[in-house]
Structure 1
């Protein structure tokens, strides 16, 4: 269960490195691909919930870091909701 950093470019052009305790993000995101906000958020939720679940299965407790990352994503996405056609670009995924 390798820790993974995935870097995204938000609709305002800023880039951010995001954390996952698992490589599951590579199952849901592809470097170089753009995702509409709703799709990005859905994929991020699935990824972080699966990652936390994998940690729970291995160690017996959920991953608070994955859930904190999801909270941060959920807090940021609404700031771009008013922008028509806003997308988030997955720039890279590193294990």
Structure 2
């Protein structure tokens, strides 16, 4: 499967490299896009669920890395107020090449 990364800048300026086992994240995020925290979480949940299901369709089991990534995102998001915004600074392939 063509794995991807989406690079996230949290409200405090911290950067996080987030994994997806599928290019589906391109349907949910754009490089430079800024999202209200709740919207970012919703998009992350949807994108990573679809990505995991694509792995299930191909290999017969869901992607535990996608589930772990979502748990990391949700844990990080809990540190910020509900009115915070999150920026997706880039989408890259596994080698770090921008998409």
> Over aligned residues, Cα RMSD in angstroms?
0.9
CA distance in 2, matches of 1:90, 1:12: 14
Task: Name the structure 1 match of 2:52.
Answer: 52
CA distance in 1, matches of 2:29, 2:80: 20
| Superposition deviation, residue 51 in structure 1 | 0.4
1:10 matched to 2:10? The reply is yes
The runs of 5 or more residues in structure 2 that have no matched partner are 94-99
**How many residue pairs were aligned?**
93
List structure 1 segments (4+ residues) > 4 angstroms apart after TM superposition: none
Task: Name the structure 2 match of 1:87.
Answer: 85
Q: Deviations over 1:18-40 (max 9, x none)?
A: 00000111100000110000000
TM-score (norm 2): 0.90
